[in-house]
Structure 1
Amino acid sequence: MVWVRSEHAGALAVVSAWLTAFIPWNVTYSSAVSGGSVLFVRFPFFQIRYAFGVPFADAVHVSDPLSAIAFQSGQTIAVAYQAWAVGAAVLAAAVAFAALYYAREGAVEAGPVDPVRLLGGLLGLTGVVLSAATALLWTRGFPGVPIPLGVVFCFVFAGVLLSVDRT
């Protein structure tokens, strides 16, 4: 079954990579953190932590994967944050390649690698790594249940891009 026509595959690949960068890969609500409730919304390149019941200026905290790793240093869940950083790096490579593909479509299409399949593979790899990060959060004692929202999109986009008939 063909999900997308071959002539639209390049545009879909670029949009899929860019869109994935804006979808939270993980959303976790926890009612067991420091006696209050906290919502974590983890996007590929940053995390928003919102603590309920405190003034807004103190309730919102934004961090990137590297500062989150530093904050979790020595904790059992630090490895989950390290996996998140790896997933973010893979996605950054996909987004950068998608920008190059958008800017220089003819040259990229003439290269030795099919850019649609490459982006599909990078999105699939991002999904695998962020799935591991989600599993590590869950199994290493992070309170709450992580919902891997963006991870699902990674796999869907990867599956569509890898199944495109490029003949």
Structure 2
Amino acid sequence: MVWVRSEYAGELAVLSTWLSAFIPWNVMLSSVAGGSVLFVRFPFLQIRYAYGVPFAEGTLILDPLSAISFQAGNSIAVAYQAWAVGAAVFAVAFVFSILYYLAEARVEALPVDPVRVVGALLGLTGVVLAAATYLLLTRGFPGIPIPLGVVFLLVFGGVLLTIDRTD
């Protein structure tokens, strides 16, 4: 079964990476202190919207490193550390995809298949962010995390790793 024609594999690799930057890897609604907190976590930032919570009303936007500092000393800090690792892997994929877009012929001339490189990086990002989701779930933080973007990262990675590039 052919998912993508090989001549479009490079474009799919770039597009998949860029699209993954805008899909939240984790969405979570938590009930705390008589109110609710909505977390929407993208690879490079987290948007936290609290309502009905007297000590944390409003919106807070954090990058992974700031979120680690914010959660320091809490049991879920390790989940945020895993997120930072996933964000770093994704940053490599994102930079590589930009280089691939800007200098396709030069990147295609590398001794490794750039489509497989992007696929491996997206898949690895998905695995690390799945671990971060698991850590959020098991570290006593209220709410159920929905790993929306994790699924996309794993699917994109799997598709890119299995494209037949022989023609």
Q: Same fold (TM over 0.5)?
A: yes
1:93-129 alpha-carbon deviations (Å, 9 max, x no partner)? 0000000000000011011010000000000000000
Runs of 4 or more, structure 1, over 2 Å off, are none
* 1:28 correspondence with 2:48: no
CA–CA distance in 1 between the matches of 2:34 and 2:85?
A: 31
Measured after TM superposition, the shift of residue 2 of structure 1 is: 1.0
Measured after TM superposition, the shift of residue 34 of structure 1 is: 2.7
Task: Tell me if structure 2 keeps the 8 A contact 1:2–1:163.
Answer: no
Measured after TM superposition, the shift of residue 136 of structure 1 is: 0.2
Task: Quote the sequence identity (%).
Answer: 74
Please provide the CA RMSD for this pair.
1.4
* Matched residue count: 165
Task: Tell me if structure 2 keeps the 8 A contact 1:124–1:158.
Answer: yes
CA–CA distance in 1 between the matches of 2:53 and 2:135?
A: 29
Task: Tell me if structure 2 keeps the 8 A contact 1:17–1:123.
Answer: yes
Aligned residue number for residue 142 of structure 1: 141
In structure 2, give the amino acid aligned to 1:148: P
CA–CA distance in 2 between the matches of 1:54 and 1:38?
A: 8
Aligned residue number for residue 10 of structure 2: 10
TM-score normalised according to structure 1 size = 0.96
CA–CA distance in 2 between the matches of 1:4 and 1:165?
A: 8
Measured after TM superposition, the shift of residue 36 of structure 1 is: 1.1
Task: Tell me if structure 2 keeps the 8 A contact 1:30–1:38.
Answer: yes
In structure 2, give the amino acid aligned to 1:14: V
Which ranges in structure 2 are unaligned for 5 or more consecutive residues? Answer: none
In structure 1, give the amino acid aligned to 2:11: A
Aligned residue number for residue 108 of structure 1: 107
SS in structure 2 at match of 1:138: helix
CA–CA distance in 1 between the matches of 2:161 and 2:22?
A: 21
CA–CA distance in 2 between the matches of 1:13 and 1:29?
A: 32
CA–CA distance in 2 between the matches of 1:116 and 1:98?
A: 9
Measured after TM superposition, the shift of residue 54 of structure 1 is: 6.7
Which ranges in structure 1 are unaligned for 5 or more consecutive residues? Answer: none
Query: For 1:68-107, what aligned pairs fall within 5 Å after superposition?
Result: 68-107=67-106
Query: For 1:126-141, what aligned pairs fall within 5 Å after superposition?
Result: 126-141=125-140
